[in-house]
Amino acid sequence: MTGPTGILAGKRILVAGVTMDSSIGFATARFAQEQGATVLVSNFGRALGITRRIVKRLPAEAPVLELDVTDPDHLAALPDAVREHVDGLDGVVHSIAYGNPETLLGGKFLDGPWDDVAQAVHVSAYSLKSLTMACRPLLDQGSSVVGLTFDASVSWPVYDWMGVAKAALESTSRYLARHLGPEGIRVNLVSAGPLQTLAAKAIPGFEELDAMWETQSPLGWDNRDQTPTARGVCALLSDLFPATTGEIVHVDGGFHAMGA
């Protein structure tokens, strides 16, 4: 008898941050299943009901766990909630971000209030540490944590405080790589180009970024196709990058490497 095949055959993966089938997390969950993984997904609050309906569209319906990454009780309960379905994890995907679009984004940088900035950094950056630490008892040598960023090495139009939160996420990922490397746990990010997801549509003026990608990506960029990004995430979850950690892999049509 043969088992599942694919680059994630036999791996158990938690994808945190699936709301719609447009979510990068959804495309990641789908491709991971196609590559042989057993997938659990999580989301929080009012959108949980939507997530429970959306996972029926995956090749195999995935269990949905409730996880608000800012809630210490949810984080503490996560290992037991995961163990109801699988006995450990080989991969964790952090596909989560939030910044108040009314106060922080769309050109509001100079007036962004601290409480909202603090929330954005908590949900979008600190949570990579919280989620990883919550999962730590489930992770073993060779496991992989992957998050999603939008290149924070430069400033962008309209992205404003979310850009700062992403810079914090990128740094958090490097420090996690440092501290968890000795346990054989890799931590990497995929830096995706603009994609038409719920989070992106909430950013006033996001189409400005879309337009830049259209003209400057040498490979071209389809902002409705989450699959290349999902494939990048799954490659980092797989055993194909055994000596890579603290890295940011760009899945952006090559945009980041062009000066103009």
Rounded CA separation 24/144 (Å): 18
Point out which span in 132-140, 170-178, 190-198, 214-222 binds ligand NAP (CB under 6 A). 190-198
- Residue 48, Ramachandran bin (φ over 0: left; ψ between -120 and 50: alpha; else beta): alpha
From residue 21 to residue 60, what is the string marking binding to ligand NAP with x (rule CB under 6 A)?
--xxx-----------------xxx-x-------------
Dig out the tokens for 26 from the structure: 């959804």
Which positions ≥6 away from 90 have C-beta within 8 Å? 11, 12, 13, 139, 140, 142, 143, 144, 237
Return the number of the residue (8 or 251) whose C-beta is nearest ligand NAP: 251
According to the binding rule CB under 6 A, does residue 198 interact with ligand NAP?
yes
User: Minimum CB separation from ligand NAP for residue 148, in Å?
Assistant: 3
Q: What CA–CA distance (Å, rounded) separates 190 from 150?
A: 8
Of the two residues 4 and 109, which places its CB atom closer to ligand NAP in the complex?
109
User: Rounded to 5 degrees, what angle do the CA atoms 216, 220, 222 make?
Assistant: 115
Q: In the stretch 139-168, what mask flags binding to ligand NAP with x, by CB under 6 A?
A: ---------xxx------------------
Interacting residues with ligand NAP (CB under 6 A) = 17-20, 23-25, 43-45, 47, 67-70, 95-98, 123, 148-150, 192, 194-195, 197-200
